[in-house]
Amino acid sequence: MDLVSIIIPYYRKKKYINNTITSIINQTYKNFEIIIIYDDEDTSDLKFISEMQKKDKRIIIIKNLKNEGAGNSRNKGIEKAKGKYIAFIDSDDTWQIKKLERQINFMNKNDINISHTSYYIVDDKDKILGKRVARNFFSLKDLLKSCDIGLSTVIIKKSLISDKFKFANLKTKEDFVLWLKLLQNNNKIYALDEYLTSWTNSPHSLSSSIFQKLFDGFKVYNKYMKFNTIKSLYLLICLGVNFILKK
């Protein structure tokens, strides 16, 4: 049974983190480590997180000296990871009990390096607001106009991550850059169409800010993918339209 390293950036999600960790501890697939990157200069939640660590020796805590953002925090976690596979989950999301088992089996059986799954969108009371169906992405153009990969559903072989392929230093869409770069390098992202994750639509999260998403979306295309301004604006419009259509 291959070791899976689970990366969780933490920034002021005390209301949710216990459910997140519990959903991991309860997995039927047991060979994992949990790497929590505490990304807050305010240490008031650190004791609470440390109490969780005492309950399970598989939990590792990394404390950032300053707030570095989710992207850089995940990169730090990956550097410390010992697993063959890296799984990502945000500190307000949860997994179904067989998430790791089903997805790792799917990847091993089909010799897959990157996969994602379908997921539920829920509110902070765990009420289902919507669904997202996972689909295969085999080329860059498949994903350019709509970021249809739920970060908390992704598992990737650690061997694919490098200085060239890592999370961007953005407030939102830091994961979008990584998926695009991987596809640009002829990697394939496979879909397991099973609802194995619940993504929390937190009203105060950065991911709920439309302006921030547009600002970062332009940077994805113009700064990181190095498209010219006109092409970047065109793709940003497409991204915005597809986001509205999905709502």
Nearest-Å Rg of the Cα atoms of the chain is 17
pLDDT at position 205 is 58
- Residues forming a β-bridge with 121: 130, 199
For residue 31, pLDDT over 60 is answered with yes
Q: Which residues pair with 209 in a beta bridge?
A: none
Q: What is the pLDDT of residue 204?
A: 58
pTM: 0.94
Assess contact for 28 and 1: CB atoms under 8 A.
no
Query: What CA–CA distance (Å, rounded) separates 132 from 146?
Result: 12
pLDDT at residue 206 is higher than 60: no
SS3 218: helix
Cα torsion 186, 192, 197, 198: sign: positive
* pLDDT for 247: 63
What's residue 207's pLDDT?
A: 54
Pairing label, strands 155-157, 114-122: antiparallel
Q: What structural domains does the chain harbor?
A: 4-246 (3.90.550.10)
Whole-number mean pLDDT of the chain? 94
Q: Does residue 82 or residue 162 have the better pLDDT?
A: 82
Task: List residues bridging with 114 in a β-sheet.
Answer: 156
What is the predicted pLDDT for the residue at 159?
95
pLDDT value, residue 124? 86
Q: Cβ distance 74 to 170 under 8 Å?
A: no
If we measure between CA atoms, which residue out of 101, 105, 73, 102 comes closest to residue 89? Answer: 73
> What is the per-residue pLDDT across 171-194, written as a single tens digit (0 to 9) for each?
999 999 999 999 999 999 999 999
Distance CA 7, CA 88 (A): 5
Handedness of CA 97, 201, 86, 225 (dihedral sign): positive
> How high is the pLDDT of residue 213?
87
d(CA 22, CA 92): 12
- How would residue 125 be classed by pLDDT, with cut points 50, 70 and 90? confident
3-state per-residue secondary structure call for 59-98: EEEEECCCCCCHHHHHHHHHHHCCCCEEEECCCCCEECCC
pLDDT-based confidence at residue 245 (cuts at 50, 70, 90): confident
For residue 137, pLDDT beyond 70: yes
Q: What is the mean pLDDT of residues 84-94?
A: 97
Phi and psi (nearest 5°) for 79?
-60, -35
